[in-house]
């Protein structure tokens, strides 16, 4: 899991450099890995006291295409 909470904002697209900067120290992404990009956006889902449907469904952050290309094409991860 890569914790992206420090770089996510509403409607933001996070870059490859930002994602790689959040990889825990001493860890690396290897071929065959399953990668979870944790944005913390679950805090807005309907089961939480901080529920906010607009934030959860409409304003969630996401990766720039370069992130997906790197993880799948270069790192050859199994799942994102």
The pLDDT of residue 41: 95
- Rounded to two decimals, the pTM is 0.89
How many domains does one find in the chain? 1
Q: Does a structural domain hold residue 30?
A: yes
Tens place of pLDDT for every residue, the chain, 80 residues?
999 999 999 999 999 999 999 999 999 999 999 999 999 999 999 999 999 999 999 999 999 999 999 999 999 999 99
Instruction: Tell me whether strands 2-3 and 37-38 are parallel, antiparallel or unpaired.
Output: parallel
Range of the domain at 51: 2-74
The pLDDT of residue 52: 94
Taking the CA atoms of 4, 9, 10 and 11 in sequence, report the sign of the dihedral they define: negative
Q: Which helix (H) or strand (E) holds 76?
A: none
Roughly how many angstroms between the first and final C-alpha of the chain, as a whole number? 10
CA atoms of 26 and 13, how far apart (whole Å): 25
The pLDDT of residue 76: 98
């Amino acid at each position: 899991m890569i914790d992206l909470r420090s770089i996510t904002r509403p409607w933001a697209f996070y870059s490859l450099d930002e994602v790689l900067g959040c990889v825990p120290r001493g860890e690396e992404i290897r071929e065959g890995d399953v990668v979870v990009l944790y944005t913390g956006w679950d805090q807005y889902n309907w089961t939480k006291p901080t529920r906010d449907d607009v934030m959860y469904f409409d304003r969630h952050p996401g990766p720039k295409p370069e992130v997906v290309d790197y993880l799948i094409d270069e790192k050859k991860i199994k799942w994102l």
